[in-house]
Amino acid sequence: MKIALVDIRKNGDNKDYNGGFGTTFQVGNSFKAKILSFVRSNLENLPTMSYAYIAAIFKKENHSVKYYLNKMPEPSDIILIHVSLIKNKEEIELIKKMKGEGIKNIGVYGPLATVKPELFKEADFIIQGEPEEAILKISKTSKIPKGKIKSNPILDLDVLPFPDWSLFPVKKYSFSPSLPLKPFIFVLASRGCPYGCSYCPYKVFGTYRFRKSKKVIEELIYLKKEYGIKAFYFRDPTFSINQKRIEELAGLMVENKLNLKWGCETRLDLLNIPLLRLLYKAGLRAIKVGIESLDHELLKKHKRLPPNVNHQEKIIKFCKKIGIKVIAFYIMGLPTDTKESIKKTLKYSKKLNTSFANFNICTPIPGTPFYETLKDKIFETDLNKFDNFHSVFKHDNLTKKELLKFQEKALTSYYFRARYIFRYLIERIKIR
């Protein structure tokens, strides 16, 4: 069969983020805001892993696979689109256009297709759940699917082939300035998250599972040999959950002398100084962590378990000392947030002075418990605006205008500080 993987996105769009619902970067109209938007959109260019996994599965069964970015596909037996929130309108318009031109067998997948299948009435089939189980069946039978297809999570992730990146512009992918080395790629060592944060989009899909360390190392060796990668980022939602396993993985990286720089996302309370020393030795140079808010009681209302503040600051300080960049995430506009609570969080972010900081507007993502509790307050009907940069529900204490102003101020005042600029320039001199 001929398989077409169709993608729509612009610079700054990241469909793999936000649990696969996608996110982008749009912040204000001031001169400083436009500078930040330009830098972010032009330096960071990230792949969507699901396409590479799907390509690998089909090609293993000798099917022909092509990738189409922002253009109509050639005639194919099956068309597949990873649909998102951030490009919802464009993706639906493309499906309608393809149908109008007589193209058949159009399928959609992803978390949005899973929780909101009614949005994609024009599609010929909808894969609900992690797509690989359904794709494995289709690849083996060559049967064209129709309607809604339930796809269960793959419990043993090691049965999946390594993602096939040969169809994609690997040399253009970049995670700069966090990891300013190319070629760069994504790697997955685990899926799911055992924590219960009510607003987390990663809870929409399957439970926590992890790959064998040996298989991850085999993939890294393959990526280095095949594509010459110099840096990669683990797309695991919470990388260091199992410390023993992570120590084993890091030990194998050192033993195999991979000499790769990498990043991951995790919780600060799942890190300690001995572990960080080992991970640094194995190549860790950037971590993403959720600080979220200085108001820990507010976070606990949403089942977010915040780390101890002293431990949090100790770990961040140590990362700075040894040369691991910290990318901190903050949320503004949680339901009981106030102007005062947001101001305290912004002040705290500057105290931490991490290498980078992201300030997101609280966004209820379809399929999460948080969305269900707020759905009667949601006023925004344009799903493209569920991107962490728009206010989409009626807040009891803050207006839409105030939230947008807070976000713009948070980002511009954070990055346009002499203290921050000096530190950034020092870090850019050399990635150790």
pLDDT for res 11: 85
What tens digit of pLDDT does each residue of 288-313 get? 999 999 989 889 988 898 889 999 99
Q: Where are the alpha helices (DSSP H) in 294-368?
A: 296-300, 309-322, 339-352
Q: How many CA atoms lie within 13 A of 365 on its CB side?
A: 28
Radius of gyration from C-alpha coordinates of the chain: 21
pLDDT band for position 429 (cuts 50, 70, 90): low
Q: Is it the case that residue 57 has pLDDT exceeding 60?
A: yes
pLDDT for res 42: 87
Cα gap 113→126, rounded to integer Å = 7
Q: Which of 331, 385, 393, 404 is nearest to 27 (CA)?
A: 404
To the question of domain 2-150 being in CATH 3.40.190.10, the answer is no
Q: Where, residue-wise, is CATH 3.20.20.70 in the chain?
A: 169-429
Q: Is it the case that residue 54 has pLDDT exceeding 60?
A: yes
Q: Which of 190, 192, 187, 189 is nearest to 202 (CA)?
A: 192
Q: Is it the case that residue 430 has pLDDT exceeding 80?
A: no
What tens digit of pLDDT does each residue of 262-298 get? 999 999 999 999 999 999 999 999 999 999 999 898 8
| Among the four given CATH numbers 3.40.50.300, 1.10.260.40, 3.10.20.600, 3.20.20.70, the one describing domain 169-429 | 3.20.20.70
Q: Where, residue-wise, is CATH 3.40.50.280 in the chain?
A: 2-150
Structure tokens at 93: 């318009």
**Residue 245 CB partners (closer than 8 Å, separation 6+):** 210, 213
Cα gap 110→126, rounded to integer Å = 9
Flag the least confident range among 38-42, 122-126, 253-257.
Answer: 38-42
Q: Is it the case that residue 6 has pLDDT exceeding 90?
A: yes
Q: Which of 58, 80, 73, 78 is nearest to 166 (CA)?
A: 58
pLDDT for res 345: 96
277, 246 in Cβ contact below 8 A? no
What tens digit of pLDDT does each residue of 137-191 get? 999 999 999 999 999 999 999 999 999 999 999 999 999 999 999 999 999 999 9
- What percent of the chain has a predicted confidence (pLDDT) above 90? 88
pLDDT band for position 383 (cuts 50, 70, 90): very high
Mean pLDDT (the chain, rounded): 94
pLDDT for res 158: 97
pLDDT band for position 254 (cuts 50, 70, 90): very high
pLDDT for res 12: 87
